[in-house]
């Protein structure tokens, strides 16, 4: 029995990579095929069949990918940045043991907007600003470690980034999914591309919206997933403070007022807090 990593899933065939780098297409005779995900570590038996899926640390169902180590959360000045989505993805990462990296793309289009976004986030998570069309995008190659995924709004440049890093065009639709392709729909097939030893990156086009119900937390816990709030929460009068009760009792609200916490982050925190609270009503 040998361990391998699932790079791609097509119909009922899986492309797997063994630790020595050998790549093989295998089946899964005695296992449910929809229980095996790209990013899974699996055991391959003598008949070249997947016989077991190793425990995974996390999973995204749509698009299906498992065992994610890092998420490259991508934004750009165009389309209009959805920072609430960025914040939701950051919380999702913290909840699922994924390291979030902010990738601000299309620096060539609007330097000012890129710099503004960078200013908001560089205190929160590791942030890179670049343009896909020049060598600045190569900063990401160093950043790829383990199983990484690109996520973010449609048209921010996720596929372009993969293509630029690969320095060749990746065909968006392969021979299999062409047959089932309808209209302009982007394929939901996920594939891990290899950029060196233990360096994999996948494009997750379908993960451009994030339903709050994927954030399995109580709204009162949300504050713990805003790392920049923590140092100011010491000054809140009550330990249970959720930072919306008024400045006189709250270190976080004071920090927002004094420009020590970005207003955009705090306002999105309030929105997300209400969204999570409303979820419980249904």
8 Å CB contact between 249 and 237: yes
243 is a site residue for Zn ion (CB under 5 A): yes
Report the residue from 113, 127, 132, 189 that binds ligand GTP according to the rule CB under 6 A.
132
- Report in angstroms how near the CB of residue 135 gets to Mg ion at its nearest: 22
236 is a site residue for Zn ion (CB under 5 A): yes
Residues 6+ apart with CB under 8 A from 253: 243, 244, 246, 247, 266
Contact set for ligand GTP, span 15-54 (CB under 6 A) = none
Q: Which does 250 bind (CB under 5 to 8 A by kind): Zn ion, Mg ion, ligand GTP, none?
A: Zn ion
Tell the burial category of 163 from Cβ atoms under 10 Å away from its Cβ (0-12, 13-18, 19+). Answer: middle
Rounded Cα gap, residues 253 and 79, in angstroms: 30
Report the residue from 205, 233, 241, 272 that binds Mg ion according to the rule CB under 5 A.
205
- Report in angstroms how near the CB of residue 149 gets to ligand GTP at its nearest: 12
Rounded Cα gap, residues 154 and 209, in angstroms: 9
8 Å CB contact between 129 and 100: no
Report the residue from 10, 186, 254, 275 that binds ligand GTP according to the rule CB under 6 A.
186
159 is a site residue for Mg ion (CB under 5 A): yes
Report the residue from 241, 256, 262, 272 that binds Zn ion according to the rule CB under 5 A.
241
Q: Which does 106 bind (CB under 5 to 8 A by kind): Mg ion, Zn ion, ligand GTP, none?
A: ligand GTP
Tell the burial category of 108 from Cβ atoms under 10 Å away from its Cβ (0-12, 13-18, 19+). Answer: middle
Torsion (CA) 32, 33, 35, 37 in degrees, nearest 10: 160
Among the residue ranges 9-17, 155-163, 224-232, 264-272, the one whose residues contact ligand GTP (CB under 6 A): 155-163
**With DSSP H G I counted as helix, E B as strand and the rest as coil, what are the percentages for the chain, rounded to 5?**
35, 25, 40
Tell the burial category of 209 from Cβ atoms under 10 Å away from its Cβ (0-12, 13-18, 19+). Answer: exposed
3-state secondary structure at position 50 = strand
Report the residue from 105, 113, 187, 268 that binds ligand GTP according to the rule CB under 6 A.
105
89 is a site residue for ligand GTP (CB under 6 A): no
Question: Given the complex with ligand GTP, which of 40 and 203 has the nearer CB atom?
Answer: 203
Report the residue from 8, 9, 106, 128 that binds ligand GTP according to the rule CB under 6 A.
106
Site residue total, ligand GTP (CB under 6 A): 17
Among the residue ranges 60-68, 85-93, 234-242, 268-276, the one whose residues contact Zn ion (CB under 5 A): 234-242
- Report in angstroms how near the CB of residue 243 gets to Zn ion at its nearest: 4
Total residues found in the chain within this entry: 282
Report the residue from 76, 120, 252, 255 that binds Zn ion according to the rule CB under 5 A.
252
Q: Which does 113 bind (CB under 5 to 8 A by kind): Mg ion, ligand GTP, Zn ion, none?
A: none
Largest CA distance in the chain: 69
Q: Which does 38 bind (CB under 5 to 8 A by kind): Mg ion, ligand GTP, Zn ion, none?
A: none
- The tokens for 200 are 């994999």
List contacts with ligand GTP (CB under 6 A). Answer: 105-106, 108-109, 131-133, 154-160, 186, 205, 208
């Amino acid at each position: 029995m040998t361990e391998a990593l699932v790079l791609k899933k097509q119909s009922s065939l899986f492309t797997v990579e063994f630790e020595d780098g050998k790549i093989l297409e295998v089946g899964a005779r005695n296992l449910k095929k929809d229980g095996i995900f790209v990013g899974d570590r699996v055991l391959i038996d003598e008949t070249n069949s997947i016989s077991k899926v190793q425990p995974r640390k996390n999973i995204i169902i749509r698009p299906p990918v498992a065992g994610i180590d890092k998420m490259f959360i991508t934004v750009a000045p165009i389309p209009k940045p959805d920072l609430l989505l960025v914040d939701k993805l950051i919380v999702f990462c913290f909840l699922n043991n994924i390291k979030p990296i902010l990738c601000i793309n299309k620096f060539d289009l609007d330097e000012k907007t890129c710099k503004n976004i960078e200013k908001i986030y560089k205190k929160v998570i590791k942030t890179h600003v670049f343009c896909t069309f020049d060598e600045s995008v190569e900063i990401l190659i160093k950043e790829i470690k383990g199983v990484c995924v690109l996520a973010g709004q449609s048209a921010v440049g996720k596929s372009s980034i993969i293509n630029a890093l690969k320095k060749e065009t990746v065909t968006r639709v392969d021979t299999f999914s062409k047959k089932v392709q309808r209209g302009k729909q982007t394929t939901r097939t996920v594939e891990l591309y290899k950029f060196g030893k233990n360096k994999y990156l996948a494009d997750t086009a379908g993960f451009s919206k994030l339903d709050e119900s994927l954030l399995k937390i109580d709204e009162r816990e949300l504050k713990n997933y805003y790392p920049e709030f923590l140092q100011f929460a010491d000054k809140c009068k009550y330990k249970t403070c959720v930072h919306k009760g008024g400045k006189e009792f709250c270190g976080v609200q004071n920090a927002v007022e004094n420009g020590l916490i970005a207003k955009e982050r705090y306002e999105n925190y309030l929105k997300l807090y209400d969204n999570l609270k409303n979820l419980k009503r249904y």
